[in-house]
Structure 1
Amino acid sequence: MDQLTDPLAGLDAVPWGSLHHAYGPAVDVPDQLRALRSTAAPVRRRAMSELFGNVYHQGTRWGASCHVVPFLVALADDADNPDRAAVAGLLRSMVLGDRRDDALPFDPQRAFASAAGVTDEQAALVERHLEAEDLFEHEEVAKLADGVAVRWEADAFHAGARHTERYVRWLTDPDPRLAGYAAELLAWFAPDETVLAGLIAVSDDEARAAVRASANLTLGHCPGGSERINVRLQELLSANAMVVRVTAAVGLAYRLGDQLPDLALDVLTDARSLDFDAEVPGWDRSVRGFVALALHRVGLG
């Protein structure tokens, strides 16, 4: 494949042997990334499981993790990849870990504050002792371990933050799971004009209802008082799909609190009385959970 279109271009230029994951030097990562493009589904599933175990072991990121991120972005961006949404799910885990929506809006400076001052040398020292399985035999090195772990989290997050223009492009992807994941992923980065325009523009037709719902939740979590966001969410209170109407009302409740328009409040109370629920791609919390939180924010929880 032409280097300009190969999602794994540059893979062999990364010094994987000097990077570490949960089980030592990351020399097996390149083949695992290549296997994500296999035509055989079992091969792809095994590679996905191995990558999760290596570079996202029990929620921990490692020195190699941030170097995996751009290749996962490129693989999810590759129209020939048969498991793009699954790759985006792994990408999300790598970049954000197990953070849930109650951490939004996200402040990376505060979240990663304990990594401030951690040097490359300190990170390498911790890696060496982890590999030797004698970390806790060296008290001074063990004291560095928590800060180093946060440093690896921060490195992975910032690696993911460099690709928001790709995530915006995925919002219009024919695969609604990938598009929905992209909308949720964008909630974690400070929105610029391109991000806001992309989220606002997502269609509300029936085929894109799940994507529109995910975008609504992200807009609801956006910091700032952009009137365009409020206007778009109010328009969507009359959408055909109930999941779009309800998530638009949730978004407005998050943004406006007790200044919520009557129609949005009606949508929320109807959803509660009907016990309406749905899963929105990219979000761990169900719509019913968001409705409960939204009503709490307006004083009706």
Structure 2
Amino acid sequence: MITPGEPPAGIESVPHPKAVLLDTPWAELSHAYGSAEDTPTPLVGLLDDDPEVQAHALGHLQMSVLHQGSLYSSTAPVALFVAGILDHPRTSAAHESEYPWDDRARPLRAALLEWLGEIAESVGYYDDREQDPEYDDPADIAACRAARPAIHQAVAPYLSDPDPVVREAAVGAAGHLLKAPELRDRIPDAAARLRITLTASGNRRERAVAVLTLVAWAQDTSDLLTDQDPAIRACAALAPLPSADPRPTAILLEALSDPHTADHWFDAEPLPQLDGWFRFTLLHALLARTTTLEEVLDASLALMPMANDFTVERDWGPLLLRAFPDGNADEVALTDAQYRLLSAIAAKDDCWGNIGNKITWLRRAGLPTEREYFRALLTNRDRAPDF
């Protein structure tokens, strides 16, 4: 067991859940609301035969043991307990969340896998950061990090589960777990399982989740650039493929020629691997693969009808820096591409509201922050006005 004050070693095998329950000094541990001495009861409740009791127990995990991504001294032992009960028959019971913002009805096993993935994501946040954690205790992070091998051992079998909801949750958890430096040697086996899913499944969402996970593991997705589904091709193009290969750039440009359609490829439920609208991820990848505004101009203009004050961080702000990487818009004659991009921005009322997000981006590009002066810049392409 993980004992307070002891530096944990890596835990390779999942301990028996009963041993975790009985041998862990819960009163010495804490969660978001204080002492974790109340935690054994909801852990037992996860295996109750009443789905409502199970849902309430799951709520304790989500709100107390891992609260808004924060880790506590109770998080690691609870995660090991959860890993140990994944194969229990009662985790196959379907239930609804007790929280109004989550209207999914799914097997408890899927919810538990998702929760384990959230722990892995929180721990992974610190893997590439040398500075002291701002919120989480280093000992709690170390304990959760030590539990990752055992958690992955428990998660891996469900990558091939017959239930697609469980499979997706397992892929999400494994996606975060296998980013851990000590687990990267397990990626080839997991990637092979995802390849089987890609071949066997006809479900766009499931296939996209598999591809995006391969991308997150820096796997070669070049074979998927010729997939029949444009959404899968676009997901595959997000990988850091060789710059000499023109296909990823062409695929990203094709997807962004109709960003509204790309955004709605996964309408039923947002993909957990994506942060916001898909067009933002596509643009980020396109900018990484190109160097000039001219290369991305058509995509930029296609994006502008959907741009506004709130999206500046993800679309027209980065495009302004592509247009004026030296921050000297007030000193140069505008090229045709620069003029067309600025004209589209100047004409978009939604980009000129009272939200201040845009000011930093405009200043970084060397552009006026007031619309009147921004428009004046376009009246004389050869000489910027004095503003």
* TM-score between both structures, scaled by the size of structure 1: 0.70
Of 261, 285, 294, the match for 1:294: 285
The one-letter amino acid of 1:163's match is: I
- Counterparts of 1:173-188 in structure 2, within 5 Å, are 173-185=161-173, 186-187=175-176, 188=179
Distance in 1, Cα, partners of 2:36 & 2:154? 26
Distance in 2, Cα, partners of 1:250 & 1:153? 30
Do 1:236 and 1:245's aligned partners in 2 also have CA atoms closer than 8 Å? yes
Distance in 1, Cα, partners of 2:203 & 2:159? 10
| Greater relative CO (CA pairs within 8 A, separation 6+) | 1
CA shift, 1:147, in A, is 7.5
Q: Specify the alignment match of 1:219 in structure 2.
A: 214
Distance in 2, Cα, partners of 1:209 & 1:73? 29
Gapped regions of structure 2 (runs ≥ 5): 1-13, 94-107, 291-295, 297-318, 320-387
Gapped regions of structure 1 (runs ≥ 5): 100-105, 116-145, 224-228
Distance in 2, Cα, partners of 1:43 & 1:61? 24
The one-letter amino acid of 1:214's match is: V
Q: Specify the alignment match of 1:238 in structure 2.
A: 226
Q: Specify the alignment match of 1:43 in structure 2.
A: 53
Of 179, 182, 190, the match for 1:198: 190
- Counterparts of 1:93-242 in structure 2, within 5 Å, are 93-97=118-122, 108-111=126-129, 113-114=131-132, 149-185=137-173, 186-187=175-176, 188-190=179-181, 191-202=183-194, 203-204=197-198, 205-207=200-202, 209-222=204-217, 229-230=219-220, 233-242=221-230
- Aligned residue pair count: 249
Q: Specify the alignment match of 2:76 in structure 1.
A: 66
CA shift, 1:271, in A, is 1.9
Instruction: Using the TM superposition, name which of 147-156 and 58-67 deviates more.
Output: 147-156
Distance in 2, Cα, partners of 1:177 & 1:96? 19
Q: CA RMSD in A?
A: 3.1
1:30 aligns with 2:40: yes
The one-letter amino acid of 1:210's match is: R
CA shift, 1:200, in A, is 3.5
Identity %: 22
CA shift, 1:280, in A, is 6.0
Distance in 2, Cα, partners of 1:147 & 1:182? 27
Distance in 1, Cα, partners of 2:252 & 2:33? 48
Q: Specify the alignment match of 1:259 in structure 2.
A: 244
- Larger helix percent: 1
CA shift, 1:192, in A, is 3.7
1:19 aligns with 2:44: no
Do 2:227 and 2:233's aligned partners in 1 also have CA atoms closer than 8 Å? yes
Do 1:36 and 1:48's aligned partners in 2 also have CA atoms closer than 8 Å? yes
Of 91, 111, 116, the match for 1:86: 111
Do 1:220 and 1:255's aligned partners in 2 also have CA atoms closer than 8 Å? no
Pick closer, same or farther for the CA change 1:8–1:282 going to 2, 3 Å: farther
Q: Deviations over 1:167-189 (max 9, x none)?
A: 33222122333323333333432
CA shift, 1:84, in A, is 1.2
1:270 aligns with 2:254: yes
Distance in 1, Cα, partners of 2:252 & 2:118? 31
